Amino acid sequence: MRLRCQQFLNNFMQYKTAIGIRRAIEAKEITAIEVLEHYLEVIKNKDNEIGAFLEVFENEAREQANKIDNMVATGQSLPRMAGVPIAIKDNMLYQGKVASAGSKMLEKYVATYDSTVVDRLKKAGAVIIGRTNMDEFAMGSSTETSFWQKTKNPVDVTKTPGGSSGGSAAAVAAGMVPVSLGSDTGGSIRQPAALCGVVGMKPSYGRVSRYGLIALGSSLDQIGPFATTPQDAALVLEVIEGLDVHDATSVELTETTASELIEENFNGMKFGVPKEYFVDEMDSEVKKVIEEAINQIKENGGTIKEVSLPLTEYALSAYYIIQPAEASSNLGRFDGMRYGTRALSDNLKESYLMARGEGFGNEVKRRIMMGAYVLSAGYYDAYYKKALQIRQMIANDFKRVFEEVDVIISPTSPCVAWGLGDKFDDPIAMYLADIFTVSANIAGIPGISVPCGTVHGLPVGLQFLAGAFKDGKILRVAAAFEQLKVNNS
């Protein structure tokens, strides 16, 4: 076993992708248990420094891997992700395991059922290796609001990995898993993907079931993959997407994802570059890298056109009204009685106050108060109702632009990864990290971030956006851009 695991390590470049691992297992070049043991060893060696994982499911993962090896041994047809290790964010339910959403409030909550994405991963033969750290209840952009630990960026451990899905992004960036799942409410997959230098995709709203996801903003949340290649992201999406009877917002798809069908070229594609996404607050070096990437696309067959999304300047404000409003409603159930850590008191009111006061961190409390305020009788029309109107106008802006172009190109983040603690005490500065990502959630459209260069040795992310349920378009251009980098390397 040790010899074979060393051979796996020596040939790691061949097996580093989910697609490559699955093919190697099917070809009997290596076993699922050997793949798993390799990744468990990487986690053991690296995660003490990085802090990506909250829990590793060694026993369950070995059981899943052994099932795949038994299928190979008996000549059975293998499912789509047979033997591929994957990590899940701490807000996705896995029956029999803690799902704490990064919060003290849920430190003892054990899931009684599988979320739909976990169920579909299991059926596809994936090996679920553990749960990853996150900002508390997905509120944050740096994975520093987690009650449990702070996750560090594998590229530079003095920097943030981004958030709220920073643990999932860091796990892929550090080579601890080939793929992982995160959730994206305002950029929580794409932004950490950009800061860690990996691929991160937010599917169209409704493409992936939210059943069994601990909700932040129900009209904004969407589960999606982290990966090292767009093809791997497509493979994971293919497994988890589609209609779910448990989620009324999920959609029956007329066109499903298939990683093998992704074209790797820009031929005939029209790209829109919104002038509003190149703001003064953006790092000038990041801007330069993004402009170089756009020129590369143009030189390799893509048609570039400047477009305008005039309501972009209102997107962040609308988001930070709608999201806290939905969060304050969703988190009402965590009161120490129905859900959450129980506070012992003879007085019911004191029990509620103690449970929520001790169970929630400062960022969660801040957003609950913001949400309760904008939903209150005297301010509902002035704030929440207007934000919903802006939301529809932003969606209409995107629809208009997508009549002219196939895909929008933009930066994913206005800056590269910042130092741990640098923005922790400045909520407004932290919120501005999502300036280029929140619009996609507001409009319900798909977005993907791919690495496109470095600034000061830190990754820069390039974002592609497309119309609702045109997820295949952004996967195509992401794969083409990835191939372009390979050809030029």
Catalytic residues: 89, 164, 188
Place of tokens 């053991």: 44
How far is 164 from 168, CA to CA, in rounded Å?
9
Place of tokens 């939301």: 391
How far is 360 from 365, CA to CA, in rounded Å?
6
How far is 252 from 41, CA to CA, in rounded Å?
40
How far is 88 from 53, CA to CA, in rounded Å?
9
Say if residues 227 and 126 touch (Cβ distance below 8 Å): no
Of 479, 407, 419, the residue nearest 450 (C-alpha):
479
Amino acid 62 reads R
Determine how β-strand 127-132 pairs with β-strand 199-202. Answer: unpaired
Phi, then psi, of 57 in degrees rounded to 5: -95, 65
Q: For residue 204, what are the contacts with CB-CB under 8 A and spacing of at least 6?
A: 222, 251, 444, 445, 446, 468, 469, 470, 471
How far is 186 from 202, CA to CA, in rounded Å?
10
How far is 407 from 404, CA to CA, in rounded Å?
9
**Looking at beta carbons, which pairs linking 333-339 to residues 24 or more positions away fall under 8 Å?**
334/105, 334/106, 334/359, 334/360, 339/105, 339/106, 339/109
Say if residues 174 and 193 touch (Cβ distance below 8 Å): no
